Structure 1
Amino acid sequence: MTETTRAQDPAVGVREEILAYYAQGKEDGRLRQGSERLEFWRTQDVLRRLLPTAPAKLLDVGGGSGIHAEWLARDGHEVQLIDPVPLHVEQAGRLPGVDARAGDARELPAEDASYDVVLLLGPLYHLPERADRVRALSEARRVVRPGGLVVAATINRFAGLHDLLKHELYFTAPHRARVDRETEEGRHDYQDGGLFTTAYFAQPHEAPEEFTDAALTVEGQYGLEGAAWLMGGIEDWLDDPDRREAVLAATRRIESESTLLGTSGHLLTAGRRRT
């Protein structure tokens, strides 16, 4: 394949409601507080074990405001972030060691085989159509070098159901009807009373199948939060350094247990481009 740089208007093809949701600027603080910190710390934990020794050349696709790019750059990696939301590009571009630019996961503005690692920690669950998810993974394969690593995040199919039960919203008929449809179809529709923007909630087996269709070899899956995110004391546990380490150790212990993968709110799938 000849080297190619693909350029386009990143807003083309990105749903307006998704752009509007992230333009509110709430994403930058989401993983820095409350129980959401578990997702952040566990993502960091898994990636630090999977990534090559720094400095590696990383492409953070759909990296938002740079919540992960920031610590990756601090770890010594060369980080480029791509995101379709102008506010995110502006925020990430202010971070030391992070080069941020506009782009779409399905048509990356990057040359063939130009990165050691490609991360997709957000794009797949905002692509409701399977063909678009495979296209994004195929683009990741195109721009990662042979032998390079691709890691993608998905939201698990029953995350919405678990979350509504935790916050006692499942007892409200409209919320219950919506989330019951989500568990059947996987589609979260913001126009249907959803608390999130347009998204796709996947079964654990779907990401490996989509990796395979994109000619990526799957090497592992990692449930990030286990069941800990659903427990009433989780925020206090995360505030206590000793208990936090115990929670992280417990979730690490079961992270790849196949019977528990769907319990986590988020799942990481890792694979490689072989040739």
Structure 2
Amino acid sequence: MNEIQAWYDNAYDEWERLQRHKIEFDITKRYLDDFIKGDNLEIFDIGGGPGRYAMYLAERGHKVTLLDLSSKNIEVAKRKSFEKGIALEGYIHGNALELEEFQHHFDVILLMGPLYHLTEEADRRKAVEGALKLLKPDGIIIASFISVYAPLQDSLLNLYPIESVQGLLGYLQDGENKDGKGFTTAYFINPKEAKEFMKSYGLKELIFAGIENILGCKEKEINLLNESEYRKWIEIGYHLSTDENLIGTSQHFLYIGRKEIL
């Protein structure tokens, strides 16, 4: 956890990441619009970085509380929300594995960062279980995963020099990224494993999507298109995102499920 916190506090600008990866941001927002229905909902964004999604949802009239492991991300969220004239309900420097202190229950919980920074399954389960305890019956949980194919796709997109073919293919075996290998400590997952993992909690799956799918390999070029052409490709990517034949071509998976009323 110290490695991950240091990465976001010192080495990485998470706010700008979604400016570079507009496809991921815009298609994910489309899904938030599709499944977060209702007015003035109470939303807990756990591991939400500097709050880009939190602010997006707050702009739509929801009461959003942000929690993140990085103190820098929390400070950025405070500054950016002030600049936008947005007030989040809370800006909490905290850990997705330490949610016991929270008693309030939420209509929607976002878990769109922690699961791909927890290399041990026991920790991933603890994060989900802690989040579900804070989710109201019939509430929505939204979780993100990084694909086990993402390092390959990123290397292809940028044509980075390949130091070791077997090293690059090695992610397909255990999915673990060590701190210092282009990214901080992380766990990459295949689509089947991600779906089965969330299914084990008895949730009703509403959607499982491969966010970038075939658009990812042309991300740089698509970002430079005029707005009209860019939006056409976003529409195509959105419609392809649930095609099971293409889900593995994405760098990020998005799961949306409902907590059943017992």
- Structure 2 residue aligned with 1:6: none
SS at match of 1:258: coil
Deviation at 1:189, TM superposition (A): 1.2
Matched residue type, 1:247: W
Matches within 5 A, 1:199-210: 199-210=186-197
CA 40–235 in structure 1, closer or farther in 2 if over 3 Å, else same: same
- Please report how far the alpha carbon of residue 26 of structure 1 lies from its aligned counterpart in structure 2 after TM superposition: 0.9
Mapped partners of 1:217, 1:135: distance in 2: 19
Aligned length: 252
Partner of 1:243: 229
Question: 8 Å contact 1:120–1:152 — kept in the other structure?
Answer: yes
- What is the correspondence of 1:1-20 to structure 2 with a 5 Å cutoff? 14=1, 16-20=2-6
1:180: which partner in 2?
169
1:111 aligns with 2:103: yes
| Aligned residue number for residue 8 of structure 2 | 22
Which has the larger displacement, 157-166 or 147-156?
157-166
Q: Distance in 2 between matches of 1:221 and 1:172?
A: 31
Shift of 1:259: 1.6
Are 1:64 and 2:49 matched, yes or no? yes
Name the CA distance, whole Å, in 1 between partners of 2:13 and 2:66. 18
Amino acid at match of 2:186: A
Partner residue, 1:142? 133
1:118, CA displacement in angstroms?
A: 0.3
Check whether the contact 1:227–1:263 (CA below 8 A) recurs between aligned residues: yes
Matched-pair identity in %: 31
Distance in 2 (alpha carbons) for counterparts of 1:65 and 1:236: 25
**Which residue is 1:32 aligned to?**
19
Cα distance, 1:38 vs structure 2: 0.9
Q: Please state if 1:271 is matched with 2:257.
A: yes
TM-score by length of 1: 0.87
For residue 157 of structure 1, what is the amino acid of its counterpart? V
Report the CA distance between 1:19 and its aligned residue: 1.0
Q: Which whole-Å CA distance do the structure 2 matches of 1:224 and 1:212 have between them?
A: 19
Unaligned runs of 5+ in 2: none
Amino acid at match of 2:192: H
Distance 2:194 2:43 in 1: 21
**Corresponding position: 1:252 with 2:238:** yes
The alignment's C-alpha RMSD in Å is 1.6
Name the aligned partner's letter for residue 40 of structure 1. F
Distance in 2 (alpha carbons) for counterparts of 1:190 and 1:152: 23
Q: Partner of 1:43 in structure 2?
A: 28
Unaligned runs of 5+ in 1: 1-13
Q: Distance in 1 between matches of 2:224 and 2:98?
A: 42
Q: CA deviation at 1:139?
A: 1.2
Letter in 2 for 1:138: E
Instruction: Find runs of 4+ consecutive structure 1 residues off by over 6 angstroms.
Output: none
**C-alpha contact 1:161 1:179 (8 A) present in aligned 2:** yes
One-letter amino acid of the structure 2 residue matched with residue 97 of structure 1: A
Deviation at 1:207, TM superposition (A): 2.1
Cα distance, 1:209 vs structure 2: 1.9
- Matching residue's letter, 2:134: V
- Is the contact made by 2:223 and 2:230 (CA closer than 8 Å) also made in structure 1? no
Deviation for aligned residue 1:62: 0.3
